[in-house]
């Protein structure tokens, strides 16, 4: 399973969850900072 973290959660969390949830990312890292919930 991979996670897509909300933009309100820090990007610094990603390295800590990579082992348990590979390929996880954060909205800003995915280039979707201003995307609506529906777009996400």
Beta pairing, strands 25-26 & 4-5: parallel
Residue 40: its pLDDT value, please?
A: 85
CA 19 to chain centre: 15
Mean pLDDT of all residues in 17-23: 95
- Burial of 26: CB neighbours in 10 Å, binned 0-12, 13-18, 19+: buried
Residues near 10 by beta carbon (within 8 Å), at least 6 away in sequence: 26
Mean pLDDT (whole number) for 13-40: 92
What's the predicted TM-score (pTM) here?
Answer: 0.73
Helix (H, G, I), strand (E, B) or coil at 5: strand
């Amino acid at each position: 399973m991979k996670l897509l973290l909300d933009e309100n959660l820090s990007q610094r969390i990603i390295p800590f969850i990579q082992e348990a949830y590979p390929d996880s990312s954060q909205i800003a890292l995915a280039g979707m900072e201003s995307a609506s919930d529906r777009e996400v």
